[in-house]
Amino acid sequence: MNRNWWQVPEDRFASHTPTRVRYNEIDHQGIVFNGNYLIYADIGVTELFRALGEGTPGPFFAQYGTDIVMVNAEIDYHASARLDEMIVVAARVARFGRTSFTIHVGLFRDDGQGGRERLTDMALTYAHVEQDLSKAVPLPASFIADVRSFQPDPPEQAAARG
């Protein structure tokens, strides 16, 4: 994972989805339970695909007879979200490989001084696979082109490994 991604300002993300922390998402400490951050990340991924005009990920890749599966998730926690806070789930494609891509999701909230506080950074890597999940296949050129033309900053291009 490239920790430089954690320096990307909120306005450089491709999609922004506000949501409120609900009671069922917190633990006995009154903060969001750690596993629920991946639910927020999934919201960010879905809304990124929607913003790209692709709908949700499944139908987009189905047109190619392929799908995507998450193969890695990493989370860095910077601060805790609390009950009833409004947070913003921001997402962008951070990296393209030959058969995979990584989405960087950041969670932010108002800092009370006119700025934003970064709560978490997450890197979610998806493999592009045949629909029967038997093997990884190259990413569709149209997907790469759509992302490159949509995002404020182009994703990194990984070495040929995947």
Q: Is residue 109 part of a domain?
A: yes
- The domain spanning residue 137 has which CATH number? 3.10.129.10
Specify the number of domains making up the chain.
1
pLDDT at 61: 85
Q: Is residue 77 part of a domain?
A: yes
Provide the residue range defining the domain that includes 123.
3-156
Q: Is residue 14 part of a domain?
A: yes
Q: What is the pTM of this model?
A: 0.91
Tally of CA atoms within 13 A in the half-sphere of 9 that contains its CB: 5
Pure H helices in the chain: 36-51, 57-62, 141-150
Q: Is residue 64 part of a domain?
A: yes
Q: Is residue 80 part of a domain?
A: yes
Per residue in 48-106, pLDDT tens? Answer: 999 888 666 667 788 888 999 999 999 999 999 999 999 999 999 999 999 999 999 99
Pick the closest to residue 81 from 105, 117, 48, 45 (CA basis): 117
Q: Is residue 161 part of a domain?
A: no
Per residue in 107-118, pLDDT tens? Answer: 999 887 888 899
DSSP 46-81: HHHHHHTT--SHHHHHHTTTEEEEEEEEEEEE-S--
Pick the closest to residue 49 from 99, 118, 124 (CA basis): 124
pLDDT at 56: 67
